[in-house]
Structure 1
Amino acid sequence: MRKKLFIAAILAVTMSVPLFVGCGANNENKKYVIATDAKYAPFSFEEDGKYKGIDVEVLDAVAKEEGFEYELKPMDFDGIIPGLTSNQLDGAIAGISMTDERKKSLDFSEPYFEAGLSIITNANNTAINGESDLQGKKASLKKGTAGAKFAEDNKDKYGLQLNYFSDSPSMFQAVENGNADFALEDYPVIAYKIKVDTSSKLKIAGNKVTKADYGFAVNKGQNADLLKKFNEGLKKIKDNGKYDEIVKQYLSK
């Protein structure tokens, strides 16, 4: 009887091995949940029921090169970093500036785009022509962005009044209708908006106040494989010309 029980136990262990191997294979073929900013043209925006833009198309090109599947999750920017740090998201490509503060909680890819903050005013505003003219002004800011961080860091220096919004269109609207004196936005975003929106009442005031690189982000110490795939895919699409092809659709280089 003991011999039969021993043989049965051996068979049970042997038969279980393929099951464990199968579980490992499923992890390798994981479908990643990757966030993007829902309203951040020219990097990500909805048109005719589909999302497009530099971020969306770079991600898609990288995924095709590296052979991984993903679910694109458009959302408000202020929810993206909390979504990463709570592991509700596997990754994000959302015009995220690679700041030292963010590197404390996130791991970034190699930079995929160089940007920088610009001051945006109403087209009729002649009082603000650069950073030195911000004293005592009302700022329109998008929550959780590098622009918001810049304004917060300089609030006391310039005596700023800070007003927060969840998306770029609302932030711009506050400047257009006179409820704020200026907004802070990444240069390529505002340059694209002014170029394509002929009804826009906005203009760029002076030079960039900062420069920053955008990076693909994952939670600190998590999803190293996904980060590696993004870096390798990014290099490939830069080498084969696909990256430049994507960017040139939206920005003149």
Structure 2
Amino acid sequence: MKNILLISLCIILFVSCTNSTSKYENFTNNEEYIKNSAINVGIYVYDYPMIYLSNNNLSGLDYDIMNEIAKLENLKLEYMQTQFSELIPSLQNNIIDIAIAGISITEERKKLVSFSDKYYSSSQSIIILKDNNDIKVFDDLLGKSVGVIKDTISDTIISSSNNVNVVRFDIAGSALLSLKLGNTDAVMIDRVTCNNYIKYDNDIKIVEDIIFPELDYGIAVRKDDNVLLKKINNALHTIMSNGVYEKLVNKHLN
């Protein structure tokens, strides 16, 4: 009896794995399948203005851009909230088909996934408490604790510096709360998000003399999903040339 149960379990697992692989193989570079199937979009809901929740509804520049792409290419989207650190692994494991979350295009990430053309560019910034006069240049961070969002470009940059205690968080809000509680000395996040926090919080400021280079944001897909990538790029080019992109940027960033 035990042998029969074991054999049955093995058959179920085999069929399950076969169906999963089959679905993925059908999806990859099959234009009709892409058009008629739900596209799982991994998003990282972190804060205004890129992607956030407003009255329990998704909003933000990333969200609106993805929806405009879907309209132009007749894609059916299903959004899946995912931690930033899990976006690329989720693509590689076929859990999601697209990732959009202010993801900076880097050479290391390009080894793992394929990126669309850029749709925005931003640098990183250091935030400290308003009354902190000890952190003025990058070397002032040595020996200090700096909060970052796990696996973001801020994490990569600050982790490459010796003698900095990197404290990783899942969302920017948690990193900033830690700063205000005195548990960290600074927070490093993307400039566009920093600007939003500074606008509404008089207890913090950006260290203007610590400057990082701008990096391009791209929409990520699996390495071999060339048809889907082409659709995304075609739609991006369209909205950037017909005025829609400009309207979205003005709506969310100005």
In structure 2, relative to structure 1, the CA distance for the partners of 1:67 and 1:179 (3 Å cut) is same
Q: Hey, what does 1:210 align to over in structure 2? A: 213
Correspondence 1:145 to 2:161: no
Alignment of 1:184-199 (within 5 A): 184-195=188-199, 197=200, 199=201
State the AA in 2 paired with 1:248: N
Separation of aligned partners in 1, 2:41 and 2:122: 21
**Identity fraction in percent:** 30
Shift of 1:200: 5.1
Q: Hey, what does 1:248 align to over in structure 2? A: 250
Structure 2: segments with no counterpart, 5+ residues = 1-29
State the AA in 2 paired with 1:111: K
Shift of 1:27: 4.8
Contact 1:119 1:131 in 2 (8 A): no
Separation of aligned partners in 2, 1:24 and 1:39: 32
Shift of 1:180: 0.6
Q: Hey, what does 2:130 align to over in structure 1? A: 123
Alignment of 1:53-92 (within 5 A): 53-92=60-99
Larger radius of gyration: 1
String of CA shifts for 1:109-133, please: whole Å, max 9, x gaps: 0000011111111122111123232
Q: Hey, what does 2:40 align to over in structure 1? A: 33
State the AA in 2 paired with 1:68: L
Q: Which residue, out of 226, 241, 249, partners 1:239?
A: 241
TM-score (norm 1): 0.84
State the AA in 2 paired with 1:193: Y
TM-score (norm 2): 0.84
Q: Hey, what does 1:163 align to over in structure 2? A: 167
Q: Hey, what does 2:184 align to over in structure 1? A: 180
Shift of 1:36: 1.1
State the AA in 1 paired with 2:241: D
> SS in structure 2 opposite 1:101?
helix
String of CA shifts for 1:138-167, please: whole Å, max 9, x gaps: 11111110000111111x1xx111111111
Contact 2:145 2:166 in 1 (8 A): yes
Shift of 1:75: 2.1
Separation of aligned partners in 1, 2:166 and 2:157: 11
Contact 2:148 2:169 in 1 (8 A): yes
Shift of 1:79: 1.5
String of CA shifts for 1:153-188, please: whole Å, max 9, x gaps: 11x1xx111111111110111112211111111101
> SS in structure 1 opposite 2:158?
helix
The CA RMSD over aligned residues, in Å, is: 1.8
Contact 2:147 2:186 in 1 (8 A): yes
Separation of aligned partners in 2, 1:149 and 1:59: 26
Separation of aligned partners in 2, 1:85 and 1:75: 14
Aligned length: 225
Separation of aligned partners in 2, 1:65 and 1:77: 27
> SS in structure 2 opposite 1:60?
helix
In structure 2, relative to structure 1, the CA distance for the partners of 1:85 and 1:24 (3 Å cut) is closer
String of CA shifts for 1:187-207, please: whole Å, max 9, x gaps: 011112222x2x452211024
Separation of aligned partners in 2, 1:24 and 1:53: 28
Q: Hey, what does 1:14 align to over in structure 2? A: none
Contact 1:119 1:185 in 2 (8 A): yes
Structure 1: segments with no counterpart, 5+ residues = 1-22
In structure 2, relative to structure 1, the CA distance for the partners of 1:236 and 1:24 (3 Å cut) is closer
Shift of 1:250: 2.1
Separation of aligned partners in 1, 2:169 and 2:66: 27
